[in-house]
Amino acid sequence: DTEVTQTPKHLVMGMTNKKSLKCEQHMGHRAMYWYKQKAKKPPELMFVYSYEKLSINESVPSRFSPECPNSSLLNLHLHALQPEDSALYLCASSQDLNRNQETQYFGPGTRLLVL
Amino acid sequence: DAKTTQPPSMDCAEGRAANLPCNHSTISGNEYVYWYRQIHSQGPQYIIHGLKNNETNEMASLIITEDRKSSTLILPHATLRDTAVYYCIVRGTGGFKTIFGAGTRLFVKA
């Protein structure tokens, strides 16, 4: 099973709202990732977690707050977003960060619209 | 990680082989070539990866040149469902930053 699930599939929020995106995998992977993808552009890395600890933050604004409560779950908390934050948010996981080759498995994404 | 160059778009007739090229002339000896694809509005899907030998799985074949400066992804019998953006990515040791380039938009036509 190479499934990564993401909820919700779609989300519409106002600029003053607080919402959360959820990602789950049951493959025993210890690395999890958040990507942002604007229309007609490739995915861009936002955060990387390894063994439930934040390893990489690609200079993402603080209105995006990641959380990894356990090895199977990854959340992205959203607060005071801007319309330009509207995008497809992708979660991915891989077995580990420290192997020479590492295949990432992606979820279907959450399509976010900020009004 | 080395940079990759891919044609922006390609067409392929249904049932024919689709050959997608990728140039990675600055690749280092320990860097792997990975291919993913993304069907419209879905998450990227892993296809195949290799270091220097040619690889084949149930989805595709990966041909890497002897000097490793380029590779070709081959979909042996393309179907309409193979229409997608195909990303060629080079990753090395500790290369957990999967950097996606612009990719190749493959159109499979009936």
Give pLDDT tens digits for B39-92.
988 999 999 999 998 999 999 999 999 999 999 999 999 999 999 999 999 887
Rounded CA-CA distance B105/B37 in Å is 9
Higher pLDDT, A102 or A62: A62
Q: What pLDDT shows up at residue A97?
A: 76
Report yes or no: B46 at the A interface, CB cutoff 8 Å: yes
Q: Which residues pair with A60 in a beta bridge?
A: none
Of B44, B95, B99, the CB nearest to A106: B44
- pLDDT exceeds cutoff 60 at B94: no
With 0-12 / 13-18 / 19 or more C-beta atoms within 10 angstroms meaning exposed / middle / buried, residue A105 is buried
Q: Which residues pair with A20 in a beta bridge?
A: A77
Report yes or no: A4 at the B interface, CB cutoff 8 Å: yes
Q: Which residues pair with A47 in a beta bridge?
A: A34, A57
For all residues of chain A together, what is the average pLDDT? 93
Report yes or no: B92 at the A interface, CB cutoff 8 Å: yes
- Residue B96 confidence class, pLDDT cut points 50, 70, 90: low
Are residues B42 and A90, on separate chains, in Cβ contact within 8 Å? no
Are residues B32 and A100, on separate chains, in Cβ contact within 8 Å? yes
State the pairing for strand pair B61-64/B9-13: unpaired
Residues 6+ apart with CB under 8 A from B92: A100, B1, B2, B28, B30, B31, B32
3-class SS of residue A54: strand
Nearest chain A alpha carbon to B35: A103
Lowest mean pLDDT, pick from A27-41, A63-77, B60-74, B88-102: B88-102
Q: What pLDDT shows up at residue A102?
A: 81
CA-closest candidate to residue B21, choices B93, B96, B103: B103
Of A2, A42, A45, the CB nearest to B97: A45
Higher pLDDT, A77 or B102: A77
Of A6, A44, A100, the CB nearest to B30: A100
Tell me the residues of chain A between 5 and 24 that have a Cβ less than 8 Å away from chain B.
6
User: What percentage of chain A reaches a pLDDT higher than 70?
Assistant: 96
Q: What pLDDT shows up at residue B30?
A: 83
